Amino acid sequence: MRDWTMRVAGVVFAVLGLAWVAEAQELERKDVEDKYKWDLTAMYSDNAAWDADYAWIESKIPELEAFKGKVGKSGKDLKAFLDLSVEIGGHLENLTTYANMSHHLDTRVPEYLALRDRSDVITAKYGAALSWFSPELTSITDANLTKWYKDVKGLDLYKQYIANEMRQKAYVLSPDEEKLMAMSSEVFNQSESAAEALRNTDIQFPEIKGDDGKMIKLSEGKYRALMESGSPKVRRAAALALHDEYAKYKNTMASLMASNVGAEVFQARARGYNSALHMAVDNDNVDTTVYLNLISTVKANLAPLQKYAKLRREALGLTELHFYDFSAPIVGEAPNWEYETGIATIKNALQPLGAEYMGGVEDVFSKRWVDVYETAAKRSGAYSWGSYKSHPYMLLNYHGTLDDVFTNAHELGHTMHTWHTYKYQPQIYADYAIFVAEVASTFNEALLMDYLLATETDPEKRLIYVNQYIDNIQGTIIRQTLFADFELRMHRMYENGEPLTAESLSELYRTVASEYYAPEVVIDPQYDFTWERIPHFYSNFYVYKYATSMSAALALSERVQNGGEQELKDYLGFLSGGSSKYPLDLLKGAGVDMSTPQPIEAAMKKFGELVDELEVLLAEQKAAKEAKPKPKRKSSGLD
Ligand SMILES: [Zn+2]
């Protein structure tokens, strides 16, 4: 079911670039120029205004509860209720966003911690005051609704919202049964928290010898950095030590995983869905064929992945390529980017999106909508967030790596999606599903990459860009599809009554991973326990959206760049659509049909072309090195 209270949280977090290298000296906020810091006054002029709004919301909540028992009987009351809940919801969104964003700027400030906690309390109160609404709404007959749409002026604004609720009516149980389901959900969520506690706190990873010979205590974060080591010995030691540690907890982890899958299957069966997969994708009104189609299409197009693995092995001078060699550097390091240089490049890259889009981009960077630099106790990572009453904002922790420039383009994609949606949609449709959100962000990354490749002539820099593009597609489309494939087969095993044990899960993971990465990649037995490491396996059937989004984004970015006015108009229409249509229909309007293999095939074709270019560039690099045994290297700083 779509959760009414979720509309207050339109936050989209970055998928990429969450790991940052801490600077030796941390900046304090007072040391940063204002133009690089958020101006949050578009939400509230000060905390006193926030307090006043809080009091207003609190006073209005009982008015919502007074509609209980009325909206199912009268179209006029239904409209009045929806109008009021949207109005209060808009204030609540503003309230919550301001509190959280203020808190994120300096998480030490008690005043903002208090605002955030208070906003959580009132959000819960608002949610509780609405708990009766969905069952009452879905009990309205089609005949009554048809009549009310005709008789009650303005009710048809809510048609798509109501249709989406009604669509899921078949899976809503009786009020008493729903109450039991709600009570049980708290118990069901325990396996996820237990797995999290095990992964993040209880498991103590051993020390391994790092590049400089010193001992390093492993963690998931350190592990990722060590995978980029130039030494195969260090990579191997880190990978095997990390997975060996997970192996010690395999039985507990398997039991938690089985319990999570079991809870999901129970809920799907209790509600009458065909399967757990059906329940998960139906939330976005997506058909299970989209999911199955992704897996079969990626699998049918894996030859370039094998070729890439072979190129990697040769470039690294290895006789065997193991999983832990997949992030080892085969190209030089990208030069650093000044923040302004990055923006100028992003703006050049986004030119195909036309004058209106670029006008919005101008606002984003000139009106203090971006908080740019890392400062003491600021929230890490990057995101795009805002409220309908203000505008979208972006949080960055910019250090100047190539990744940071891409993160900026990515978050700008979310921000401009929100900007268009706020501009063209009424508040009720001003949010959008994750299924479409990551299309807008990865679309911008694709335009930036295409621009860099179209304008860069220096072979070393081209090599860096091509390699990064390949790694992005490999990590986002192929690896996430492997995970989606594993998830599906794990659920099917449970649904068929096969036990999910440490042995059966590890065997399944080995089978699936081999189908994608073997024979070119050697899969050490320790990797059989990878399933223990993926937190997303507790957000059932979620990861496939990364793969479908990137595929759609690649297809659409080519369509816009090779197309004319109509293709651009289609894409901007998609950005302006919010949740006024279902995700697949929005994408169809933009020009991509995710129910067919075509966009996935196109993405995999692009992957193949990039691997071919990598092959040429690596051969050229090798030839150049052999021709000049003692080359005079120029520094590869930005021109
Ligand atoms: Zn994102």
Q: What's at 220, amino acid-wise?
A: E
Q: Say yes or no to pLDDT of 12 above 80.
A: no
The alpha carbon of 60 is separated from its chain's Cα centroid by a whole number of angstroms, namely 34
Among candidate residues 136, 192, 411, 532, the one labeled active-site is 411
Whole-angstrom Cα distance, residue 174 to residue 176? 6
Q: Is the pTM of this model over 0.75?
A: yes
Distances, alpha carbon 253 to alpha carbons 9, 176, 249, 535, 587, in Å: 31, 34, 6, 11, 38
63 tagged catalytic: no
Please give the distance of CA 438 from its chain centroid, rounded to a whole number.
6
- Look at strands 207-209 and 12-13 and give their pairing: unpaired
- The alpha carbon of 318 and the centre of ligand 1 are apart by a number of angstroms equal to 35
Instruction: Find the 276 Cα to ligand 1 centroid distance in Å.
Output: 26
Please say if the pLDDT value at position 421 is more than 80: yes
**pLDDT single digits (tens) 182-198:** 788 778 888 998 999 99
* Residue 429: Cβ within 10 Å count: 19
Give the single-character DSSP code of 576.
T
Cα separation, 511 vs 485, in Å, equals 11
- CA of 548 from ligand 1 middle (Å) equals 13
For the residues 234-263, what does the mean pLDDT come to?
97
Gap from CA of 510 to ligand 1 centroid (Å) = 30
Q: Is the pLDDT of residue 379 over 50?
A: yes
Whether the Cβ atoms of residue 81 and residue 428 lie closer than 8 Å to each other: no
Using alpha carbons, select from 94, 170, 147 the residue that is nearest to residue 393.
Answer: 94
Nearest 5°: the CA angle 516, 509, 533 is 110
pLDDT score of 83: 98
Q: Per-residue pLDDT tens for 497-513?
A: 999 999 999 999 999 99
Residue-wise pLDDT for 383-419, tens only, equals 999 999 999 999 999 999 999 999 999 999 999 999 9
Ligand 1 center from residue 480 Cα (angstroms): 15
Q: Count Cβ atoms below 10 Å from residue 342 Cβ, excluding itself.
A: 22
CB-based contacts of 168, cutoff 8 Å, min separation 6: 1, 2, 138, 282
Using only C-alpha atoms, the chain has a radius of gyration, in whole angstroms, of 26
Does residue 371 carry a pLDDT above 50?
A: yes
b/e map 344-367, b = 16+ CB within 10 Å: ebbeebbebbeeebeebbeebbee
**Residues by chain with Cβ below 5 Å of ion ligand 1:** 15, 441
- Rounded to 5 degrees, φ, ψ at 591 are 115, 20
How far apart CA 165 and CA 483 sit, in angstroms, is 30
DSSP string, 561-608: HHS-HHHHHHHHHHHT-TTSS-HHHHHHHHT--TTSSHHHHHHHHHHH
**pLDDT for the residue numbered 31:** 94
Q: What is the structure's pLDDT at 25? A: 59
- State in Å: Cα 13 to ligand 1 middle: 5
Q: What percentage of the chain carries pLDDT values higher than 90?
A: 85
| Distance (Å) from CA 411 to ligand 1 centroid | 6
- Least confident window among 22-26, 170-174, 461-465, 618-622: 22-26
**C-alpha 56 – ligand 1 centre gap (Å):** 33
Integer Cα distance of 4 and 7 in angstroms: 6
List residues bridging with 371 in a β-sheet.
395
What is the rounded distance in angstroms from the CA atom of residue 525 to the CA atom of residue 492?
24
Widest distance between CA atoms in the chain: 86
Alpha helices in 476-577 (DSSP H): 479-495, 502-517, 544-562, 565-575
Do 16 and 410 meet the contact criterion of CB atoms below 8 Å apart?
Answer: yes
Q: Which residue has the tokens 């030490």?
A: 108
Residue 391's contacts (CB-CB under 8 Å, 6 or more residues apart) are 42, 363, 369, 419, 422
Report pLDDT for 630. 55
pLDDT tens string 592-634: 999 999 999 999 999 999 999 999 999 999 998 888 765 444 4
What does each C-alpha distance from 145 to 162, 169, 629 come to in angstroms?
10, 14, 80
Q: Identify the residue whose tokens are 């009987």.
A: 73
Question: Taking residues 263-275, what's their average pLDDT?
Answer: 96
Would you give the DSSP letter of residue 458?
A: -
Per residue in 543-592, pLDDT (tens digit) is 999 999 999 999 999 999 999 999 999 999 999 999 999 999 999 999 99
pLDDT in the model for residue 178: 81
Helix (H) or strand (E) holding 455: helix 434-455
User: What does the pLDDT read at residue 629?
Assistant: 61
pLDDT at 8: 31
**Banded model confidence at residue 134, pLDDT cuts 50, 70, 90:** confident
Residue 307's closest CA among 294, 293, 321, 328?
A: 321
State the DSSP string of 11-63.
-EE-SS----PPPSSPBPGGGS-GGGS--GGGT-SSHHHHHHHHHHHHHHHHH
